[in-house]
C-alpha cells in the first residue's frame, strides 16, 4: 500500500471517527435533552393538575363548611324550617358547584338532603369515618372517597346514575372479569353543626362526584395545552382514574367522544396502583403512545383509590425531535465532508514534497549524484529537502574523494604486486647461489682454527648470509600460493601445542602466562600448521614487546555463537604500539624492531593466512600499556 493511500485512509478514519463520535454524542445529548425537558414539563403539568384537583376539594370543603354555619342547618337538626331548607340548600349546590349536600344528626343519619329526590331521611353512610372525624374534632374534614352506589343513591339518584360506567375493552390493559363500575369517586367534606350553646348537634356532608365530571380535566387541558392540535387530535390530555378506569378524561376517540370506561395500561397500573409510585415517561393510552405522568390518588388512610394523569401525544414531540436530529445530523455530515476535502488537500500538500524526496532518493541510489529537490522552505519538509540536497552534495564530494583514493590505492596495489612478483623472482634467483655460499662458508669456517684472526670475519659472513637467507625465505613464503591442508581442529588444542614450543622462552624472559580458554569449543575446519604459525608469531612478538623486563601474557579463547565464530586473543603488557604504527602493522617489510632483529614479514604473512581462512585479525594497543591481537575464525571453516 502506497504512502498516499495510507495517509488518506488515516485522514478518512480520523475524520469519520471524530465525526461519527460527535454525531452519536450529539444525537444522544439532543434526544436526552428533549426527553429531560419533556419530563420536566410533564412534572409541572401534573403538579398543576393536582393543584386544580386540590382546589376542587377545597371548594367542596368551603361550601360544606358554609352550609354548616348557616342557621338553617341548626334549625333543621332541631326539626324546624323544613320548607325554608328546601328552598335555600339546593341553591347552595348550584352556587358552589357541588353535587350533593346532606344534613346528618349525631348518629350520622340523614335529616335532610339537598339533591333531587329528598327521600334520604334516616339513611347513613356506609363508611361514616369522615363524619365522625368532623364531629369529634369540631373542624371541617375533607378527603377523596369512593362511595358505593347505595350511598350515592340516597344522596341523589342522579349521582348513582352518573357513577354507573360500563367498562370498555382496552389494549394493553390488565385482564379483568368486571364489566361495569357502580361506586363513585367523590371529593367529600364533613363540617360540624353547633347549637347556640356551642354543642355539636350534627354535621353537614357535601360531595362532588368525579365520575363523568369535566370541570377539573377540561380546565387542566385548557390551561396547559390550549387548543393545540395534531392531525385532528388534541395534543394534551388529562384524566382522573377510579382504580384503573377512566371516569373523567379529555382523551377522545375518532368521533370526538370522551373515552369514559377505558382502562389504563398494565405496566402503568402495576407501578402506580400496586406499587404506589408515580410514573413518568412513555405510555400507551387507549390507542396512541403518549408522553405521560401519573400519580396515585389516596384517601386519608393512604389507600390508593385511583390515578391522576396528564399526557401529551408522542407523535408531534417525536416529529420535532426527528427534525432537530436531522438538522444536526446534516450539519455533522456537512462538517465531515468539509473535513475530508480539507484532509485531501493537506495530504496532497504533504505528499508532494515526500514524493519528490522519494523520486530523488531513488535516482540518487541508482548513481545520479546530480539529483536535487526543489521544496519551498518554511517548514519541516522544506528543512528535510535542504538536508537532502546537502547530503547529495556531501555524497558527490565523498564519491570524488573515494575515486581519487581508490585510484591511489590501485596504483599502490599494482606497485605492491609488481614488487611481490619482482621479490619472488629475485628470491628464486638468489636462493640457490645463496645456499651454495652458505655451504662453502660453513666449510671454510670448519677449516679455520679458533685462534685464526680470520675466523671472526668468516663468522660475520655466516651470520649475515643466514639473515639474507631468512629474508629470502620470508619473501618466498609471502609471495607464493600454497595449498592448505584443512582438517577439523580444536582451537584450544592448537593454542596449547603452540605454548609448549615457547614454554622455556617464557620462563627465561620472566613472563607469566595466563590461560583463559573457553571449554568445549566447537571443532572447525582449518589448516592447523598455518594457524599455529600465526599463533607462534603473535606470541613471540608479544614476548619481544616486553623487552626482557618481564610481564604478563594472557591467552584467551571464546565462542561467539550468535556470530558463528571462534576467537583467540593474545594480550601482553609490553611497550604497546603507537597510533601511527598501527596503521602499517600488516604491511610487508614494515617493522619496529632494530635492524637485524626482524624482516617485517611476520604479521603480513599471518594476516594473509587468517584471511585465507575467511577470518580477520584485529589489534588494540596503547603505548606503554600493552597490546592485544585477536584472531577471529568462522566456525564453518574456509
Average pLDDT (13-39) is: 73
Of the listed ranges 124-128, 295-299, 603-607, the one predicted with least confidence: 603-607
Winning range, highest mean pLDDT, from 144-148, 388-392, 606-610: 144-148
pLDDT tens per residue, range 68-105 = 888 877 878 877 766 676 777 777 777 878 888 999 99
Residue 89, CA distances (Å) to 56, 60, 125, 186, 565 in order: 19, 14, 20, 19, 125
pLDDT tens per residue, range 582-591 = 766 767 666 6
How far apart (Å, rounded) are the C-alpha atoms in residues 563 and 636?
Answer: 11
User: Which helix (H) or strand (E) element contains residue 104?
Assistant: strand 100-105
The three cell numbers locating residue 588: 610487508
Average pLDDT (131-159) is: 93
In sequence order, the 6+-apart residues with CB closer than 8 A to the CB of 17 are none
Cα of 494 vs its chain's centroid, Å: 62
Nearest Cα neighbor of 631 from 532, 519, 551, 545 is: 532
How many helices and strands (H and E) does the chain possess?
A: 15, 21
Give ∠ CA 557-561-567 in degrees, rounded to 5. 25
How far apart (Å, rounded) are the C-alpha atoms in residues 35 and 436?
Answer: 122
The three cell numbers locating residue 435: 645456499
pLDDT tens per residue, range 305-338 = 999 999 998 877 767 667 776 776 788 788 778 8
Nearest Cα neighbor of 446 from 459, 460, 432 is: 459
Mean pLDDT over each residue of the chain, to the nearest integer: 82
pLDDT at 482 over 70: no
Domain(s) of CATH 3.30.565.10: residues in the chain:
484-634
Average pLDDT (96-118) is: 83
Instruction: Give me the residue label for grid cell 372525624.
Output: 133
Winning range, highest mean pLDDT, from 185-189, 520-524, 615-619: 185-189
Residue 597, CA distances (Å) to 77, 458, 464 in order: 158, 20, 12
pLDDT at 479 over 60: no
Nearest Cα neighbor of 204 from 96, 78, 105 is: 105
Cα of 249 vs its chain's centroid, Å: 54
The three cell numbers locating residue 319: 416529529
Counting residues of the chain whose pLDDT is more than 70, the rounded percentage is 84
Instruction: Give me the residue label for grid cell 390508593.
Output: 304
DSSP letters for 168-186: ---TTBPP-S--EE-SEEE
Q: Identify which has the larger pLDDT, 531 or 20.
A: 531
How far apart (Å, rounded) are the C-alpha atoms in residues 489 and 483?
Answer: 17
Nearest Cα neighbor of 60 from 113, 97, 112, 104 is: 97
CATH architecture, range 380-480? Orthogonal Bundle (1.10)
Average pLDDT (409-424) is: 58
Domain(s) of CATH 1.10.287.130: residues in the chain:
380-480
How far apart (Å, rounded) are the C-alpha atoms in residues 177 and 209?
Answer: 25
Residue 292, CA distances (Å) to 36, 268, 521, 610 in order: 13, 10, 90, 97
Q: Identify which has the larger pLDDT, 142 or 533.
A: 142
pLDDT given at position 235: 87
Question: Collapsing DSSP states into helix, strand and coil, what is residue 121?
Answer: coil
pLDDT tens per residue, range 450-468 = 778 777 777 777 776 776 7
How far apart (Å, rounded) are the C-alpha atoms in residues 100 and 90?
Answer: 9
The three cell numbers locating residue 146: 369512593
Nearest Cα neighbor of 73 from 209, 186, 206 is: 206
DSSP letters for 204-243: EEEEEE-TT--HHHHHHHHHHHTT-EETTEESEEEEEEET
Q: Identify which has the larger pLDDT, 217 or 462.
A: 217
Average pLDDT (106-117) is: 81
From its phi and psi, is residue 556 left (phi > 0), alpha (psi between -120 and 50) or beta?
beta
Average pLDDT (367-379) is: 77
pLDDT at 28 over 60: yes
How far apart (Å, rounded) are the C-alpha atoms in residues 58 and 11?
Answer: 69
Of the listed ranges 323-327, 507-511, 539-543, the one predicted with least confidence: 323-327
pLDDT given at position 481: 47
Angle of helix 3-69 relative to helix 215-225, nearest 10 degrees, comes to: 140
How far apart (Å, rounded) are the C-alpha atoms in residues 67 and 476?
Answer: 150
Of the listed ranges 124-133, 259-268, 292-301, 572-581, the one predicted with least confidence: 572-581
pLDDT given at position 273: 96
pLDDT tens per residue, range 271-307 = 999 999 999 988 888 888 899 999 999 999 999 999 9
pLDDT given at position 45: 93
pLDDT at 635 over 90: no
pTM attached to this predicted model:
0.54
Instruction: Give me the residue label for grid cell 604459525.
Output: 533
pLDDT given at position 70: 81
How far apart (Å, rounded) are the C-alpha atoms in residues 483 and 480?
Answer: 10
How far apart (Å, rounded) are the C-alpha atoms in residues 604 and 619?
Answer: 13
Give ∠ CA 220-223-225 in degrees, rounded to 5. 95
484-634 CATH fold:
Heat Shock Protein 90 (3.30.565)
Class of domain 41-329: alpha beta
In sequence order, the 6+-apart residues with CB closer than 8 A to the CB of 21 are none
CB 125 within 8 A of CB 114: no
Domain(s) of CATH 3.30.450.20: residues in the chain:
41-329
How far apart (Å, rounded) are the C-alpha atoms in residues 144 and 186?
Answer: 6
CA 541, 546, 550, 555 torsion: positive or negative?
Answer: negative
pLDDT given at position 601: 66
Counting residues of the chain whose pLDDT is more than 90, the rounded percentage is 29
CB 517 within 8 A of CB 492: yes
pLDDT band, very low/low/confident/very high, at 350 (cuts 50, 70, 90) = confident
pLDDT at 144 over 50: yes
pLDDT given at position 265: 93
pLDDT at 216 over 90: yes
Amino acid at each position: 500500500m502506497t504512502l498516499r493511500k495510507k495517509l488518506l485512509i488515516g485522514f478518512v478514519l480520523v475524520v469519520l471517527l471524530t465525526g461519527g463520535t460527535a454525531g452519536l454524542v450529539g444525537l444522544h445529548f439532543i434526544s436526552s435533552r428533549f426527553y429531560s425537558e419533556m419530563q420536566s414539563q410533564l412534572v409541572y403539568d401534573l403538579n398543576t393538575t393536582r393543584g386544580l384537583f386540590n382546589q376542587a376539594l377545597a371548594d367542596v370543603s368551603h361550601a360544606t363548611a358554609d352550609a354548616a354555619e348557616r342557621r338553617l342547618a341548626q334549625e333543621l337538626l332541631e326539626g324546624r324550617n323544613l320548607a325554608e331548607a328546601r328552598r335555600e340548600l339546593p341553591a347552595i349546590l348550584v352556587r358552589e358547584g357541588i353535587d350533593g349536600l346532606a344534613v346528618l344528626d349525631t348518629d350520622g343519619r340523614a335529616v335532610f338532603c339537598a339533591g333531587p329526590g329528598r327521600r334520604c331521611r334516616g339513611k347513613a353512610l356506609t363508611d361514616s369515618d369522615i363524619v365522625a372525624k368532623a364531629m369529634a374534632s369540631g373542624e371541617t374534614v375533607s378527603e377523596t372517597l369512593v362511595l358505593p352506589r347505595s350511598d350515592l343513591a340516597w344522596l341523589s339518584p342522579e349521582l348513582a346514575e352518573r357513577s354507573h360506567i360500563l367498562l370498555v375493552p382496552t389494549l394493553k390493559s390488565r385482564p379483568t372479569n368486571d364489566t361495569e363500575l357502580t361506586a363513585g369517586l367523590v371529593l367529600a367534606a364533613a363540617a360540624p353543626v353547633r347549637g347556640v350553646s356551642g354543642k355539636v348537634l350534627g354535621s353537614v356532608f357535601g360531595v362532588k362526584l368525579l365520575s363523568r365530571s369535566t370541570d377539573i380535566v377540561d380546565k387542566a387541558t385548557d390551561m396547559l395545552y390550549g387548543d393545540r392540535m395534531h392531525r385532528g387530535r388534541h395534543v394534551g390530555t388529562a384524566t382522573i382514574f377510579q382504580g384503573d378506569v377512566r371516569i373523567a378524561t379529555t382523551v377522545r376517540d375518532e368521533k370526538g367522544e370522551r373515552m369514559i370506561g377505558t382502562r389504563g395500561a398494565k405496566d402503568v397500573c402495576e407501578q402506580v396502583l400496586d406499587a404506589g409510585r408515580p410514573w413518568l415517561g412513555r405510555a400507551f393510552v387507549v390507542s396512541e403512545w403518549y408522553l405521560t405522568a401519573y400519580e396515585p390518588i389516596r384517601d386519608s388512610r393512604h389507600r390508593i383509590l385511583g390515578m391522576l394523569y396528564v399526557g401529551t401525544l408522542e407523535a408531534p414531540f417525536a416529529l420535532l425531535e426527528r427534525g432537530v436530529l436531522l438538522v444536526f445530523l446534516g450539519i455533522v455530515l456537512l462538517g465531515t465532508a468539509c473535513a475530508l476535502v480539507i484532509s485531501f488537500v493537506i495530504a496532497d500538500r504533504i505528499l508532494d514534497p515526500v514524493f519528490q524526496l522519494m523520486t530523488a532518493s531513488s535516482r540518487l541510489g541508482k548513481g545520479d549524484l546530480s539529483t536535487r529537490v526543489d521544496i519551498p522552505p518554511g517548514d519541516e519538509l522544506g528543512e528535510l529537502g535542504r538536508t537532502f540536497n546537502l547530503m547529495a552534495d556531501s555524497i558527490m564530494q565523498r564519491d570524488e574523494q573515494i575515486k581519487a583514493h581508490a585510484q591511489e590505492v590501485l596504483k599502490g596495489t599494482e606497485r605492491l604486486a609488481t614488487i611481490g612478483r619482482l621479490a619472488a623472482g629475485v628470491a628464486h634467483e638468489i636462493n640457490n647461489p645463496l645456499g651454495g655460499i652458505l655451504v662453502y662458508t660453513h666449510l671454510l669456517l670448519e677449516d679455520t682454527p679458533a685462534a685464526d684472526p680470520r675466523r671472526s670475519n668468516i663468522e660475520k659472513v655466516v651470520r649475515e648470509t643466514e639473515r639474507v637467507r631468512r629474508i629470502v625465505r620470508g619473501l618466498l613464503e609471502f609471495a607464493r600460493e600454497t595449498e592448505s591442508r584443512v582438517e577439523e581442529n580444536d582451537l584450544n588444542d592448537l593454542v596449547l601445542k603452540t605454548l609448549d614450543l615457547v614454554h622455556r622462552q617464557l620462563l627465561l624472559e620472566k613472563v607469566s602466562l595466563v590461560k583463559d580458554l573457553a571449554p568445549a569449543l566447537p571443532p572447525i575446519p582449518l589448516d592447523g600448521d598455518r594457524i599455529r604459525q600465526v599463533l607462534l608469531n603473535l606470541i613471540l612478538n608479544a614476548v619481544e614487546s616486553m623487552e626482557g623486563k618481564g610481564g604478563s601474557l594472557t591467552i584467551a579463547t571464546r565462542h561467539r555463537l550468535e556470530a558463528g565464530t571462534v576467537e583467540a586473543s593474545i594480550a601482553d603488557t609490553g611497550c604497546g604500539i603507537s597510533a601511527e604504527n598501527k596503521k602499517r602493522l600488516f604491511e610487508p617489510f614494515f617493522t619496529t624492531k632494530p635492524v637485524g632483529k626482524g624482516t617485517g614479514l611476520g604479521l603480513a604473512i599471518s594476516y594473509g593466512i587468517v584471511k585465507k581462512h575467511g577470518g580477520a585479525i584485529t589489534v588494540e594497543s596503547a603505548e606503554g600499556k600493552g597490546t592485544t591481537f585477536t584472531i577471529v575464525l568462522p566456525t564453518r571453516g574456509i
